[in-house]
Structure 1
Amino acid sequence: MLILGLESSCDETAVALVNDAGDIRANLVLSQLAEHRPYGGVVPEIAARSHLDHLDGLIVKALEEAGVGFDDLHGVAATLGPGLIGGVLVAATTGKAIAAARGLPFVAVNHLEGHALTARLTDRLAFPYLLLLVSGGHCQLLAVEGVGRYRRYGGTIDDAVGEAFDKTAKLLGLDYPGGPAVERAARTGDASRFALPRPLKGRPGCDFSFSGLKTAVRQQVQQLGALSSQDRADLAASFQAAVAEVLVDRTRNALVRFRADTGQPGPLVVAGGVAANGSLRQALTVLTEAEGTELVAPPAKLCTDNAAMIAWAGVERLRLGQRDSLDARARPRWPLEELDTPTPELEVAL
């Protein structure tokens, strides 16, 4: 079963072909970094127009790379949310058009579920597992109990962690995108130089807060005035260390709750763009070793936005019997808790 996956929810135009054996036959991602860099962030209208300009060409290239044609497809999966609605509509309408023209089943994929199920593609992970989903727009801890079955333990009460990375990079005068820029700067920095806050650390629950940390970085920048390269490196390292401590603290609470709910210690899956951060992965590895479980972190190229995860989510839902109508609506907001669960008796083993 070969599925075409389409993704355009933010600033990456992506196309992939994945089969139900977990083989990624093609996985193309066209970044828009150059288009958005002058603005220091994603401009929705520019993103949508770029998706429209490039998606068709990427589909042709992906089919050529995989050595297949439209007649070889068994279904089409496209992101229908959450995301920037103008961009979401590009993949959604293109996917529906291909499905209609070729008489193929169509699957409306939740972008967050794509991240949530990636470990099933890369590591053949069985349900249940605990998920730390960290990206530019999302920061959540969830028990993943099955396709369409998510129990939310906590989330951010203000800014997502990826947004905090981007804003910190801008304050420090670093390059865009902010996450990789902060990580690069932090490599030569002293993480102990600045006593930045650890919001909510040590408190009960699994929620996150990053707005106060971001404000503390701004205050340090204002106090320093003109920043030297070492100032930037030290602030980046101090910020990154604070983020890692907060994420580890909240995730530890979630592991305790997950064990109580399921009788299992884990595993812990980390997904989303921020999951590509090496310092965070190392901190979570130390945590899971101490808690007697394992950390599952997909390859970095499958943590950032991509269409292989969308195609795989389509595989998971198609083999459970799901087919979405072509009038399924795109959504700027689409919490995982609102997803439906396909008919379990139709499931085919991995």
Structure 2
Amino acid sequence: MKTIYKEIKVLGIETSCDDTGVAILSTKYDLNNPNNSICRVLSERVSSQVNLHSKYGGVVPELASREHLKALLPLTKEVFAEAKLSLKDIDAIGVTTGPGLSGALLTGTSFACGLSEATLCPLIPVNHLEGHVLSVLLENNSLMDKKCEFPFLTLLISGGHTQLIEVTEVGSYKVLGQTIDDAAGETFDKTALLLDLGYPGGPAISELALRGNKYKFRFPKPLCNRDTLDFSFSGLKTAVLTQTKKNDLNDPDTKKNIASSLEFTISEILITKCRLALKNTGLKRIALVGGVASNRLIRASFVALSKELGVEVFVPSKKLCTDNGTMIAWAATQKLLSGFIPVKTENIEISPRWSIENKYQN
């Protein structure tokens, strides 16, 4: 059968937290086999609010919404100028409508609705977590020199989420386990504040950990001795707090050792849960996604796990691990090719607690 390609261009808009992401993605797909596709990022921009929120030690929702409002139009103009396109060249608009901060989501969604109304361009609501999950299918991987394929296990690790998800196909996700309290990324951030390393904490902890002794402090690994795929990090945070009070933080070695021990402990927790999930599901592919997936030690630990268990490990490039518009454009494209019907602007709504298991917002 002759291969006949059709091209669609999708604008992706991401404003779930404190990064404003806008991108235009071109996908050429086989009309007889939509899974056979060639993708190209025509243009992408991300505006980070890290410098603004760092002085407060975390994201301030009202400020985040205000900054999204300032950034959206300039970024959108920039991506269209770089791609040498206009709004009439776009086939669909994908926008994050949940989960995330209510005000931030509303800002991005309202902007996308305005573009859709002005151009009659189809609007695709995208689950932020689905954007992360599907990002592993977009490019040849940083750990495996090929694209991931269905089905696969996903470990989603970020500042707000820690989940194990069984991925069968686009739109078919089962949460096998998740944190019952705090997220892995939040644990890094809170520890960084205790060590006076600033916000966000992940990169600073990782850098400091390189010069520390990971065995100096024996931090707890909550739920790791139980037959559950859920996570817990609140006890670990408390243990770190205790050690910061018992030890002299003016001693540089203390900070290095706490950072190294924490990073090692979190990595061990994640590996333990993923090993159990792979055993329970029989899956042979695992994807690491989300901002914390950029962590050097965690990546290295999963390379070792792949050799131990004979499974394939996939991790997106670092720019796709953090929040961005490209993954939203990609997820919207995949939803379109899977038969998803665009939503009318008057029916679209934000869902700050939208579960990835629910195909439609709730």
User: Structure 2-normalised TM-score?
Assistant: 0.91
Letter in 1 for 2:285: P
Q: Which residue of 2 aligns with 1:6?
A: 13
1:268-306: CA deviation from partner (whole Å, max 9, x where unpaired): 000001001010011111112211111100001100100
Aligned pair partner of 1:324 in 328, 334, 343:
343
Q: Distance in 1 between matches of 2:18 and 2:152?
A: 29
1:243-284: CA deviation from partner (whole Å, max 9, x where unpaired): 00000000001101220xxxxx42100000100101001111
Q: Does 1:209 align with 2:228?
A: no
- Does the CA-based 8 Å contact 1:202-1:249 persist in structure 2? no
- Does the CA-based 8 Å contact 1:19-1:315 persist in structure 2? no
Q: Does 1:18 align with 2:25?
A: yes
Q: Which residue of 2 aligns with 1:129?
A: 152
Q: Which residue of 2 aligns with 1:174?
A: 197
Structure 1 residue 125 displacement after superposition = 2.5
Q: Distance in 1 between matches of 2:303 and 2:54?
A: 33
1:310-350: CA deviation from partner (whole Å, max 9, x where unpaired): 00001001122321121211011101111249xxxxxxxxx
Q: Which residue of 1 aligns with 2:35?
A: none
Q: Which residue of 2 aligns with 1:287?
A: 305
Q: Distance in 1 between matches of 2:270 and 2:294?
A: 14
Structure 2, unpaired ranges of 5+: 1-7, 28-37, 141-146
1:139-187: CA deviation from partner (whole Å, max 9, x where unpaired): 0001101111111110001101011110011111112111111101101
Q: Which residue of 1 aligns with 2:125?
A: 108
Letter in 1 for 2:344: S
- Does the CA-based 8 Å contact 2:162-2:231 persist in structure 1? yes
Letter in 2 for 1:317: K
Q: Distance in 2 between matches of 1:340 and 1:253?
A: 30
Aligned pair partner of 2:324 in 306, 319, 332:
306
Report which of the two has the higher share of helix.
1
Aligned pair partner of 2:358 in 330, 338, 346:
338
Q: Which residue of 2 aligns with 1:346?
A: none
Q: Distance in 1 between matches of 2:172 and 2:254?
A: 45
Which shifted more, 75-84 or 318-327?
Answer: 318-327
Structure 1 residue 225 displacement after superposition = 3.8
Letter in 2 for 1:324: V
Q: Distance in 2 between matches of 1:310 and 1:279?
A: 27
Q: Does 1:278 align with 2:285?
A: no
Letter in 2 for 1:26: S
Q: Distance in 1 between matches of 2:284 and 2:131?
A: 20
Q: Distance in 2 between matches of 1:226 and 1:131?
A: 37
Q: Distance in 1 between matches of 2:63 and 2:343?
A: 29
Q: Distance in 1 between matches of 2:175 and 2:125?
A: 21
1:11-46: CA deviation from partner (whole Å, max 9, x where unpaired): 001100112232111121000011101101000000
Q: Distance in 1 between matches of 2:82 and 2:103?
A: 28
Q: Distance in 1 between matches of 2:249 and 2:205?
A: 18
Q: Distance in 1 between matches of 2:316 and 2:87?
A: 29
Q: Distance in 2 between matches of 1:184 and 1:225?
A: 20
* Secondary structure of the structure 2 residue equivalent to 1:193: coil
* Secondary structure of the structure 2 residue equivalent to 1:151: strand
Q: Distance in 2 between matches of 1:193 and 1:226?
A: 14
Q: Which residue of 2 aligns with 1:347?
A: none
Letter in 1 for 2:192: A
- Does the CA-based 8 Å contact 2:192-2:198 persist in structure 1? yes
Structure 1 residue 91 displacement after superposition = 1.1
* Secondary structure of the structure 2 residue equivalent to 1:22: strand
Q: Which residue of 2 aligns with 1:163?
A: 186
Aligned pair partner of 1:65 in 78, 82, 85:
82
Q: Distance in 1 between matches of 2:84 and 2:58?
A: 36
* Secondary structure of the structure 2 residue equivalent to 1:42: coil
Q: Which residue of 2 aligns with 1:344?
A: none
Q: Which residue of 1 aligns with 2:34?
A: none
1:169-248 correspondence to structure 2 within 5 Å: 169-248=192-271
Q: Distance in 1 between matches of 2:77 and 2:165?
A: 36
Identity %, equivalent residues:
41
Q: Does 1:145 align with 2:168?
A: yes
- Does the CA-based 8 Å contact 2:248-2:254 persist in structure 1? no
Q: Which residue of 1 aligns with 2:46?
A: 29
Report which of the two has the higher share of strand.
2
Count residues with an aligned counterpart.
Answer: 336
Q: Distance in 2 between matches of 1:320 and 1:192?
A: 48
Q: Distance in 1 between matches of 2:132 and 2:298?
A: 17
Structure 1 residue 129 displacement after superposition = 0.6
Q: Distance in 2 between matches of 1:157 and 1:107?
A: 30
- Does the CA-based 8 Å contact 1:148-1:340 persist in structure 2? no
Q: Distance in 2 between matches of 1:291 and 1:177?
A: 33
- Does the CA-based 8 Å contact 1:79-1:109 persist in structure 2? yes
* Secondary structure of the structure 2 residue equivalent to 1:122: coil
Q: Distance in 2 between matches of 1:268 and 1:226?
A: 38
Aligned pair partner of 1:45 in 62, 80, 96:
62
Structure 1 residue 102 displacement after superposition = 0.7
User: Structure 1-normalised TM-score?
Assistant: 0.94
